[in-house]
Structure 1
Amino acid sequence: MDKKIFVEKGTMGAIGAWVMDQFDLLIPTVFLLTLLMIIDYLSGMLASKKEALDHPNNRQYGWNSKKSLLGIYKKASYIFIIFVAICTDYIIYKFTSELGIKFEHKTIFGLLVSIWLIMNELISILENAGRMGANLPDFLKKVLTEMQGTIEKKGKKL
């Protein structure tokens, strides 16, 4: 099942990147990602505050500056990842034209990475909404749980 989710997520990202490449939508995509990162950060803070109210005597719950700072570092690393992807796009585009190879797509990797990160942000926002008490549809809970399990397994392998 892990491979299926990975393939589906990659396929959705590739299709989205191709469509956006056709319309030169890298800047709006990065803008959307930035907006989602802010929403995810805020929803995470609200979810932590809500959990602190639910568990007043448990210090594991609630907002703290260390978690907040780590979240900001993670979001900043997204910008670096996109920068590397865009540089890769530029190198491919520039050198294929220098070699006389026609390569019309200027930003395929930048878009793929941006869309991948957008999907991760959307999942995180939904998880935060669930932590705040929102009732998510059962099918959405199942998909989120499977994706979360996949991410955890991949993280353990690193």
Structure 2
Amino acid sequence: MENVNAFKAAVAALGAALTALWGWFGWVVLAWIGLMVIDYITGSAAALRAGKWSSKTARDGIWHKLGSVVAVIVSAILDVVIGHLLANMPAVELPFAYSVLLCPLVVMWYILTEAGSIIENAGELGAPVPDWLAKTVESLSQKANQAGQGK
């Protein structure tokens, strides 16, 4: 029992340290990475089940994931550049305090995209998927798009 309590304490300490280091957004990025892995695994499993798995398609999936990582990095760089521009150019002002905006929106959009893909994969694997779950993810994705477009 003592080992279990020590393990729980170690996990709690690790979680606290990571939260202090990353803040809330680090956990969102970690969730996105986890969803990318789950999507790749479930997509590969669904393709295997359907007899359509190919190494070319699997590689294309990895390239697709890499492209999304690049897009997130670009949005993070733009957030930093916009923050510096606003801090150092008195003539440029926004009606709100700006710390980050683009990167969280982009990551949330990718999270919703991955979630939708995982839901599709689950259905292709034969799992019953509630219609409302797919509709909810689609609705949230549309809201993220609208937020990014300023609507």
- The corresponding residue for 1:6 is none
Gap regions ≥5 residues in structure 2: 1-21, 143-151
TM-score, normalised via structure 1 length: 0.65
- Give the aligned length: 115
The amino acid of 2:102's aligned partner reads F
Note if 1:107 corresponds to 2:100: yes
Of 113, 128, 134, 1:135 maps to 128
Note if 1:120 corresponds to 2:113: yes
TM-score, normalised via structure 2 length: 0.68
Note if 1:86 corresponds to 2:86: no
2: distance between equivalents of 1:137 and 1:91?
Answer: 42
Gap regions ≥5 residues in structure 1: 1-22, 53-61, 151-158
The amino acid of 1:38's aligned partner reads V
Note if 1:34 corresponds to 2:33: yes
Residue aligned with 2:127, SS? coil
Question: What is the RMSD computed on CA atoms of the aligned residues?
Answer: 2.4
Q: What per-residue deviation string (whole Å, max 9, x for no partner) do you get for residues 129-152 of structure 1?
A: 0000011123345x38x78xx9xx
Give, in angstroms, the shift of residue 111 of structure 1: 0.3
- The corresponding residue for 2:86 is 96
Give, in angstroms, the shift of residue 24 of structure 1: 4.6
Q: Is the 8 A contact 1:26 1:110 kept in 2?
A: no
Q: Is the 8 A contact 1:43 1:129 kept in 2?
A: yes
Q: From the superposition, tell whether residues 63 and 140 of structure 1 become closer, same or farther in structure 2 (CA, over 3 Å).
A: same
Q: Percent identity?
A: 30
2: distance between equivalents of 1:133 and 1:83?
Answer: 35
Of 49, 53, 59, 1:69 maps to 59
1: distance between equivalents of 2:114 and 2:131?
Answer: 20
The amino acid of 2:27's aligned partner reads P
Larger radius of gyration: 2
